Structure 1
């Protein structure tokens, strides 16, 4: 019999693909590599907080989250510090070259990749992974198994 829990590991790549970079020339690639290698685990944790803070403003989920404006402002300030350090210090030359030869889209693309890397840490958390697997508890195993088996 087909087991829907086997589908759960496929959810993470799907979630990551939803925010895949749209542009990646050689200078954007260099900048991406620099951003990822220059970002600490603490930086990635801060990026996760910032993403959550922003996502929690979405009208479909805002009802589930209470975040005081001063906390959201602090998260924005701390994350801006990371961005500024990466763009103007750690990856200064790569930022300049990417912008010069490939434009604003290259810088945007590099930060999308950094966001994906940070998101991987969020989804790797055991509690989050268990929460994602909860989706499969509501799958129709028989129906999905028939589709996957070509029946």
Structure 2
């Protein structure tokens, strides 16, 4: 695995795991962010979310909640690899080179963070996902939260 591919893999893992607190992105990273968001179709964003799900599902603390087969995982990895190849080597090649040159791994991380956020917006806007948030409220002591947030 080349150094650039390792950087890209680590960046994707970090970005999809949780939003990072970062300094303001440099202009090259912002340009790459804009290009990635502009170039990724809704289907592309779904591919990224599916990949992130398969990665997180391997963690021992949540593995019992998912039954992703090796064949499914391989198919998702293949689709995501094809997507990343297209985004970095074709759609946003100039922006990616500039972001790496000026910001290194952080330049990529910031840019892919923006794409990850767009993908999560798509996911979170789904009605069944929204209803799951409502279901959670059945188990939250809303009175305790209200007292903690309002009372001083």
Q: TM-score, normalised by structure 1?
A: 0.82
- 1:103–1:41 CA distance, 2 compared to 1 (3 A): same
CA distance in 1, matches of 2:121, 2:66: 22
CA distance in 2, matches of 1:114, 1:22: 15
Give the C-alpha shift of residue 148 in structure 1.
2.3
CA distance in 2, matches of 1:66, 1:143: 36
1:41 aligns with 2:42: yes
1:51 aligns with 2:29: no
Give the C-alpha shift of residue 60 in structure 1.
1.3
CA distance in 2, matches of 1:21, 1:71: 32
Give the equivalent residue in structure 2 for 1:30.
31
Q: How does 1:69-84 map to 2 (within 5 A)?
A: 69-84=70-85
Q: How does 1:79-118 map to 2 (within 5 A)?
A: 79-118=80-119
Which runs of 4 or more aligned residues in structure 1 lie more than 2 Å from their structure 2 counterparts after TM superposition? 20-23
Aligned residue pair count: 135
1:141 aligns with 2:142: yes
- 1:21–1:92 CA distance, 2 compared to 1 (3 A): farther
Between 131-140 and 32-41, the greater mean CA deviation after superposition: 131-140
Name which structure has the greater RCO, CA cutoff 8 Å, separation 6+: 1
- Where structure 2 has 5 or more consecutive residues not aligned to the other structure, the ranges are 1-15
CA RMSD of aligned residues (A): 1.7
- Where structure 1 has 5 or more consecutive residues not aligned to the other structure, the ranges are 1-15
**Secondary structure at 1:103 match in 2:** helix
1:19 aligns with 2:19: yes
